Amino acid sequence: MEHDIKHLYIGGEYVEPHSADRIDVVNPANGQRIGSIVDGDATDVARAAEAADRAFRTSGWAELTPKDRAGYIRRLADAYVERGAEMARLVSSENGMPISFSRLVHEERPARYYRYFAGVADTLELERTRPTSTGYAIVRKEPIGVAGLIIPWNGPQGLIAWKLGPALAAGCAVVIKPSPETTLDAFLLSEAIEQAGFPPGLINIVSGGPETGQAVVDHPLIAKIAFTGSSTTGKIIAARAGAQLKPVTLELGGKSAAILLDDADLDDFGARILEVCLPNTGQQCTACTRVLAPRDKYDQVVELATEVLARVPVGDPADPKSVFGPLVSARQRARVESYIAAGLQEGARLTTGGGRPAGLEGGCYVEPTVFRDVSNDMRIAREEIFGPVLSIIPYDGEEEAIAIANDSAYGLSGAVFSRDVDHATDVARRLQTGTVGVDQFSIALEAPFGGYKESGLGRELGPESVDSYLRIKTIYRAGSAPSA
């Protein structure tokens, strides 16, 4: 079944685009075209920004109490659940995510995110008073206006919810620009948005490629940008937004480390390698693709990782038995293969993988790959590969392990494995990274998530994410503050 989306979602309507250009959507499991989308231009973005600005100023949304806004967000969650199974299948066909994983992250979880942010809105306090030397001040939080939400392909609906939920809770209007690889699912979401009954123009969706995203960043009516994607693109967005003094939330790349301390339970680590080190076929920014192992246990760790990765079921993402699927595109596969070649050229040794799996030649597959004899100055240890490639690095002593983990341009995630969880937590405190797991790695929606260094700016999730869509106004008054 092909999905040819010929419209944009602007002003509460499905409208004809200004742009006549189109982008094909291809299933990376077999190279077959599954649909097409509009490649929106700056005129289309301007139309969406104007609709969002109009809704923000005139619909009354920004003036609703946060509790009233929460009701709409809960209706969106309910409408999403009605489409959850279809959403999981659609995303799997767009980006090659194995259906078992897509069901986990796309069938119900985004609805959970929306309900969480509705709960945050229920308790959101927008005004406080405090005494001053001349009287008192009313410190007020107000919605920032129109937010531009630029979404990646590797977890599209969850990452829309991470941004859309807090933006709506704060009282903002939005323009969503999904990745061209995963836009079909965004228009399925538009049906849920319609069902939830938001004011027309409050939520707009403009499809397209990089130039469309640039137009979102540049438009003067869009007051804030939230972006998840590569650090290279994030820097460009930060520079363009900075020229307008436009705030940004950037969740960018990573090259995170899983440190196995000397007393780590290796069997436990072996059971968690895929979820900690290579989730989503390694196409996840939080993946701990550097494994740091004590030198006296190095061979044992290499053997363990090799055994686990060598038996991972790789196959058609529509097959529930597949654990790894294809990479998102032929271009991404070529990128991953170039890093495998670079690792070999720099002296690392393969213990499993490195090629293309037999029998899957029609898709963008790469074998699960493990490198040993890796030093932290190699490209495979320093640059984000975004594929099923694991680098195992030896260390001598805990101080060196911490130094190696911190010797990175990135700082998004990490993990520390030890039988002594308090000691592992002490080590986690010393890592230059925004999020660390002890004996595991998982993101909880109740706590802020984001990176240090080239892994980004700002935080998503938790109540802190709502604050990023609010700005602060101070009103000074003479006299004493009224009693509560």
String of DSSP letters for 135-184: EEEEEEEEE-SEEEEE--SSSHHHHHHHHHHHHHHHT-EEEEE--GGG-H
From CA 133, how far away is CA 207, in angstroms rounded? 52
Q: What is the token pair recorded at 9?
A: 């979602």
| Cβ atoms 120, 191 nearer than 8 A | no
| Cβ atoms 394, 382 nearer than 8 A | no
Which H/E stretch holds residue 290?
strand 290-294
Q: What is the token pair recorded at 312?
A: 């991972």
Q: Could you tell me if residue 280 is left (phi over 0), alpha (psi between -120 and 50 degrees) or otherwise beta?
A: left
Instruction: Please name which of 253, 233, 279, 247 lies closest in space to residue 390, comparing C-alpha atoms.
Output: 279
**Residue 156 backbone phi and psi in degrees, to 5:** -60, -50
| Cβ atoms 465, 459 nearer than 8 A | yes
Instruction: Tell whether the torsion through CA atoms of 318, 149, 174 and 329 is positive or negative.
Output: negative
State the pairing for strand pair 32-38/127-132.
unpaired
Residues noted as catalytic: 251
